[in-house]
Structure 1
Amino acid sequence: MTNAFKRLIALVFLTFLPFVAFSQVQQEIAPPYNIKTVAFMKDGQNAYPFFRLNEPFTFVFDDLFGNEANYYYSIQHCNYDWTPSSMLSINDYIRGFDTQRIQTYTNSFNTLQIYSRYTLAFPNKFTTLLLSGNYILKILNEDQEVIFTRRFVLYEDMATVPVQVKRTRDMSTNLEKHNLDFSIKSRGFIFQMPLQNVKIALFQNGRFDNAIYNVKPQYTIGNDLIYKYDKETQFWAGNEYLYFENKDIRNAVNNVVRITAGEIYNTILYTNEARANKPYTFFPDVNGNFVTKNINLSVTDPMVESDYTWVFFSLSAPAYYGKDLYIGGMFNNYAKTPEYKMDYNEKTKLYEKAVMMKQGFNNYMYISTDKNGKVDGKNAVDGNFYQTENEYTILVYYRENNDRYDKVIGVGTANSTDIIN
């Protein structure tokens, strides 16, 4: 190979490298240790990251450094597969400006652990989002370095999505899975080439880490798209979320065995036992959500007057050789990072972990992953039971033949409490 030919190959590679990088899937970047209690909110409550276009919502997080650092935000519109929408300019999907400083923040008050709480509202005086679809919200520091990112989706009401949760027909998993039967009905327009142009995404309790993609319509009736699959639209049902409550941070109640004092309080939970081989037991949960709360009578704003505490988790379970176990919930966006990975203690024969969390009511679960870091729902530590109550969301994406982006034209929801055979 001549030197001239090598230089030609290098030139071609460098020419196309920006396009390759730009088409990369935009993964969520977990926040660093000092960023906690990250959440999307609607009407003052934590919410799954799916919002109607032009509907107001907020994004919040705490910085445990508490030094009133300057944080900025940037927003990227993405295709169905979470690659950047390369055919759109930023002015196509944002009215206003990008990379703006988050101007609303409040310092904690009367807490042992100091922190600054940041609130970013949409729309705001700088930024209005114009298009439906997938979005990546990037939080940057003063040096314009990305600190962490979160996905969210905006949708329009152009189609209805009737959904029914059913038990699977496969007798080997009939007691362990939920199957989603649904259809897509457009409102006043005809789908163009629906097998190619219509795509769906299925979510269990608002989670991205076990979402289902790339399922085509099974058949059509007129302009209605029908999905009645036996396997392609199934989720492992899991078990009810575990919980603890420490809205009074100095008293041991509701699955807290004791409280100890230190620089901040330590909240020691009762040891959980793996439930995979135990009978299903119903108890209400909030499907992974959490509520920040401090019941001290002097508290006027629990969002900045609630304290942080070290929460000590322990799990009695068989040694999961070749698998990793994580603590997950909406409080940490089900992150699979070392901060939430359970450690096996050979002396106590328990999986253990201490996590700093904000006081209130918290749902959590133990997540098993395979060697590639993928959620292993089949071998869930707490088992899979069709009786489990889960919330399911279906998003419908559509790109007409001449469109430049994947819009989200409808959403369907269903709860497994209404499961049928």
Structure 2
Amino acid sequence: MLRIVFICVLIMVCPLVSAQVVQEKAPPAYIKSITFQGQTAQSQLPIIQLGQQLILEFDALNGDEADFYYQIKHFDYNWEPSQLMQSEYLSGIDNQRIRDYENSFNTYQIYSHYTLRIPNAQTRGLKVSGNYMLFVYNDYDELVFSRKFMVQENMATVGVSVKRARDVRQVETMQGLDIIINSNNMRFNNPQQTVKTCIIQNNNLHTAISNVPPQYTLGSELVYKYTDKILFEGGNEYFYFENKDIRGANAAIRYIELNELYSNYLFTNAPRFNKPYTYNPDINGNFLINAINTEKPAIEADYAWIHFSLILPELPKNESVYVYGNFNNYALEDANKMVFNPANGLYEVPILLKQGFYNYKYVVKNNQTGALNESAISGSFWQTENDYKVVVYFRDLGGRYDRIVGVGEGNSTNISN
């Protein structure tokens, strides 16, 4: 009830104040293993077509079988609240309890596994395309966490090709994109004003490049062939580990201990910025929950403390080292911040993770400016294999919201000059 009153007040106040960009809220320590995907793609950033299913899963480690509720909101391309009323973008109702949950079975760590599918009996579907955010609340109307997702109409074709940087000073480290947008179903009037793009590397919205206008129009095609505006660091292949057999040393695990929970100690990693590029297959920052000899890994996979360590001289006080990936939505938090151990000269951090296969990388943050340096430890190479998505937004003159009319994908495996 309190949440409904708050939303009503918010709607009345919104016209009086300037809109603000919404940010995802990171979950508390007892919420783990959030997976958010469409019905076919294994991704932590769902981009689905209208009418497709959306699936959210997560674990609550407090053992209370707590009740959680969800809400869905629509946003403009820049993640400011849109002008649409809920009835204009949502069929049915939200603010409903997540009813599908199961308790863990035969695990040291007790948890409840929750699953939310949309559409469902209460929330029958989404009516329009665009940016959305799913909010999860607890019994006390407190926001627990939120996640972004996108819905597209598939009205335009988006061609994406990955190129080496055209600037010789960046040719060894950067990857650029050439983009061509075409549609036989609609006319892009005044595309410099009506068409927006968001270019995403490896499903990481934190490093996405947004709001790049078309460079020029060629017939019915919008062409982007910039030399400087759509450039990403190539980075390096992700580190990985696998602990689907929690009692045995799997890939990248040095040894194991059992106290109240299992502890998996990974082999110590070393910086790679000063080493030649070496191809190492990865899943581009993603993770998969898995456990051997189980019928339902969602509730039978156990949790273990994963001990990360990095051999690196102690950095200045204004810099911090983090380990991150899709497993924590690329967030920089105290839970994944590494601490320098002068006794062994290593940066270390233990993170509680569910059994499976994980990609991760080490990054450096400037504590004064907040600037993130993803290549300070891993290096950046043009040969690195990366996934790219290009999301195309369109708001016609007089339109009230930003439609997503097309999504294109590319991979740097086929990178060219």
**TM score, norm. by length of structure 1:** 0.93
Instruction: Name the amino acid aligned to 2:399.
Output: D
TM-aligned CA deviation for residue 42 of structure 1: 3.4
2:23 alignment counterpart: 27
- Structure 2: stretches of 5+ with no match in the other structure: 1-9
Aligned counterpart, 1:342? 338
1:390 aligns with 2:389: no
Equivalent position of 1:77 in the other structure: 74
Alignment of 1:405 onto 2:372: no
Q: CA deviation at 1:373?
A: 2.8
- Deviation digits for residues 367-403 of structure 1, max 9, x if unmatched? 22233334324x4310001111000000000000121
- Aligned to 1:162, what secondary structure does the other structure show? strand
Aligned counterpart in structure 1 of residue 295 of structure 2, from 291, 300, 310 = 300
1:309 — aligned with what?
304
Q: 1:174 corresponds to which residue? A: 171
1:22-48 deviations in Å (ceiling 9; x for gaps): 711110110000000001133476323
Is 2:348 aligned against 1:352? yes
The one of 207, 212, 221 equivalent to 1:210 is 207
Residues 1:125 and 2:121 are matched in the alignment:
yes
Give the aligned partner of residue 10 of structure 1: none
2:221 is the counterpart of 1:224: yes
Cα shift at 1:144: 1.4
Structure 1 residue 341, shift from structure 2 partner: 0.9
Separation of aligned partners in 2, 1:233 and 1:345: 39
- 8 Å CA contact 2:202, 2:388 repeated in 1: yes
3-state secondary structure, aligned to 2:193: helix
**Could you tell me which of 389, 404, 416 is aligned with 2:412?**
416
SS state of the match for residue 413, structure 2? Answer: helix
The separation in 2 between residues aligned to 1:201 and 1:392, in whole angstroms, is 10
Q: After alignment, is 34-43 or 241-250 more displaced?
A: 34-43
Partners in 2 of 1:59 and 1:15 — Cα distance?
27
Q: Which residue of 2 aligns with 1:156?
A: 153
Q: Which amino acid aligns with 1:75?
A: I
Give how far 1:15 is off. Answer: 12
- Residues 77-156 of structure 1: matches in 2 within 5 Å? 77-85=74-82, 87-127=83-123, 128-156=125-153
CA separation in 1, counterparts of 2:350 and 2:288?
20
Map of 2:286 onto structure 1? 289
SS in 2 for 1:46: coil
Residue 190 of structure 2 corresponds to residue 193 of structure 1: yes
Quick check: 2:391–2:406 contact (8 Å CA) kept in 1?
Answer: yes
- SS at structure 2 position matched to 1:381: helix
SS in 1 for 2:148: strand
8 A contact 2:39–2:52 mirrored in 1: no
Q: 1:318 to 1:174 in 2, by over 3 A?
A: farther
Q: Is 1:363 matched up with 2:363?
A: no
Match of 1:50 in 2: 47
**Residues 38 and 46 in structure 2, CA contact (< 8 A), matched pair in contact too:** no
Q: In the aligned structure 1, how far is the partner of 2:196 from the partner of 2:313?
A: 40
Alpha-carbon distance between aligned partners in 1 of 2:57 and 2:89, rounded to the nearest angstrom: 22
* Greater Cα shift, 367-376 or 329-338: 367-376
Q: What is the Cα deviation at residue 287 of structure 1?
A: 0.7
Once residues 99 and 16 of structure 1 are traced to their aligned partners in structure 2, the CA distance between those partners, rounded to angstroms, is 19
- In structure 2, the partner of 1:373 is 370
Residue 280 (structure 1) aligned with residue 281 (structure 2)? no
Q: Give the superposition deviation at 1:292.
A: 1.0
Give CA-to-partner distance per residue, 1:245-266, whole Å, 9 cap, x none: 1100011121100000110000
Q: Which amino acid is the alignment partner of residue 245 of structure 1?
A: E
What is the aligned residue count?
A: 404
Q: 3-state SS of the aligned residue for 1:394?
A: strand
Structure 1: tracts of 5 or more residues without a match: 1-13
CA deviation after TM superposition for structure 1 residue 192, in Å? 1.4
Amino acid at match of 1:301: K
Q: What's 2:4 paired with?
A: none
What is the aligned-residue identity percentage? 45
1:3 equivalent in structure 2: none
* TM-score, with length taken from structure 2: 0.94
